[in-house]
Copies of this chain bind each other. A is one copy, B any other.
């Protein structure tokens, strides 16, 4: 069996509850964690400040912030000034906050980073229950990405074992909050809002704020 200290992972860290929980979870399982965030022109850049604090709290070995301007082409309420963040409740279908191919881009860059570091495991905090509107949060996407990564990389060919870990995949948001609290995540240190004020305070009305509030109510009933 591998010694705990030999377990290494790249963890995608946005600065929200999910990715913070994912990092905390990987740490609790004994992984040495290399955190990766993206400065992609997102409306909610405050999350990068959060990511920095979270990486420090959970002793990431390193925390890389990669610049990649997805605002060049927009196509999402999070990366274009022309599309508004919806604030009238969750609707069926893929929401306007979907960012074209975002998780595929993030996972691909994570694979590049992991491969260069000799790391075979990548953690991503996707969950498909609350966010069923996002195609790139679904298990069938994650599994297919893993297969592709093992076909298109040296690590995959020579070792055949790039693993995409999505430990929150089947959890509901309130269960994630419970797990987060049990692992020492400071909820106040995370940011979920899609449309925060310039000082970083949440709007309280976007889908992500609504889901977060509801999850906190359910996970911590005494609040």
Contacts and interface: CB of A to CB of B under 8 A. Distances in A.
A29 interface: no
A158 B158 CA distance: 36
B144 A156 contact: no
Interface residues of A, number: 47
B151 A116 contact: no
A31 B75 CA distance: 22
Q: Copy number of this protein in the oligomer?
A: 2
A72 B64 contact: yes
Contacts of A105: 105, 108-109, 111-112
Nearest to A142: B152
A147 interface: yes
B156 A135 contact: yes
Residue among A67, A76, A108 with max Cβ neighbours from chain B (10 Å) = A108
A65 to B, nearest CB: 10
